[in-house]
Every structure is written in C-alpha cells, then in structure tokens.
Amino acid sequence: MTGKRTRLSAEETRERLRDAGVAALRESGLSIGLDAVNLEQAIRDADVSRSSAYAAWASERYSPQEQFQRSVLKHAVENRKVTLDDLTSKTAEMYETLVETLPRRELFREMIRVAAHENMEATADSIGWRLVIALRASLHSAAEEERDPDLAQWMNDSAVSLREYTISTLYKPLAAAFELEPRPQYGERAYELGEVCMAAISEGFSMRYWLDSRQYLDGLEHHDIVGGEANWSMYSMLFEQAVEMFFVPKSGSWDDF
C-alpha cells in the first residue's frame, strides 16, 4: 500500500482487524484450525499499523494474538442473530400477507412449511452457522484438561443468549398469534425445550445439507398438504411435530384447531 494511513481510533482499528479476521475464518472454514485467526495476517489485510493493532488488543490476561482471536470468534458467533432477524422479518411479512386469506389451521401449517424450510436453507447456507458448529466441534475435540475453559464457557453463554433471543423474537410472538399455550406438564419451559429440540435438529440437518443430501430432505409428501403441493422439507415436518409436542391450542384441541 502507498500513501499515508488515515489515523484510526482504537475501536476503528479493532473493527477493521475483526472484519479481516472473520473474513479469513470464513475463507478457511476452520480447515486449518483457529490459526486462521492470525493477528499478523489481519494487520496486513486490514492495512493498519502494527503498533496500533497490538495496542488495540492489549490485555493483562492474554497476548494480543489471543485477545484478537477471542474477539473474532465471538463476533462471528454473535452474527448468527442476523440470520434469525431476517427469518423473523420474513415470517411476520408472510403472516400479514396470508392471515386474511387462509383459515387458521391452513395458515398455521403453511407458515410452518415455509418458515421452517427457509430457516433450514438459511442455516445451511450461512457461513456463520457453519463456523459455530465447526468451532464447537474443535473446542470439544480436545481432552477436557486441554480445553480453554473461558472459550468453552463463552460458547455456552452464547447458546443460552441466542436461545432466549429466539424465544422472545420468534416463538412467543407466533404462539400468541395462533393462540397456543404450553402443555401443562411443561409450563413455560416448553419454549426452552422446543428451541433446544429444533436447534439440535437444525444443526444435524445442516450438516446433512452440506453433504449434498438435499434430495432426501426436501420435496416430501405430507398429509393434508396445503395447496396440494409436495414441497415439505423433513425439517418442516419435524418442526410441526415439535410444536404439537410442547404446545396446545388455548381453546379446544389440535383436532379442532
């Protein structure tokens, strides 16, 4: 690079370096391990001064490289919320479009069919979600005494935070819109159980999607197909079953819904 660098604040320096680190992580897909998150390489990619970069990641507990690595990994994982926000927006738009045209039961099943499938597609195609699954596997592939306890705890906290976010922004609004309530034996914990169940299924299907198994997971026939189209995904079918497992209509039963 030529010319004089623009003076950056410490936060601007960190942001540039984080972006460079996330880009490197996405490109490698963790194929070379966490070494992809390298501060020296990020300095070159982001074109910031080396002294400013090391000052920006100074820490009493960790080296600048370790502090940088933690920040990049945290940033990459937290970006999963972008996918969720997009799904929530699309779900709300679909509800507003169809609520006046379909009976409640058909509307409910159509939203599950489409929204669950779009969630599966978005998760499977999201580099951020792939990184999370790979990172979790990388962390837990080491012997317990060799694991970084801070990173392990942070990954756990991140999962809990995303669960709470999913429940508050997606599951509870949908339950209210369709007048559903938790089954008595589960109470409010039904939301947590449902999210854990669907997150586990979603991650499993995502890995199957990457193995080019879409032909076995999509376009399946399902009973009482809305519009007569055989375009349910296996994930949509299981999502429907999970909802009925943990929730019931506030009035009547699922047979009357």
148 contacts: CB under 8 Å, gap ≥ 6: 139
Binning pLDDT at 50, 70 and 90, where does residue 5 land? low
Max CA-CA distance within the chain?
72
Over the stretch 40-81, which tens digit does the pLDDT of each residue have?
999 999 989 999 999 988 888 889 988 888 888 777 777 777
For residue 29, CA distances in Å to 126, 134, 196 come to 11, 8, 25
CA distance linking residue 105 with residue 248, whole number of Å: 13
At 202-232, the pLDDT tens digits run: 888 887 887 778 778 888 888 765 555 568 8
pLDDT class of 197 with cuts at 50, 70, 90 = very high
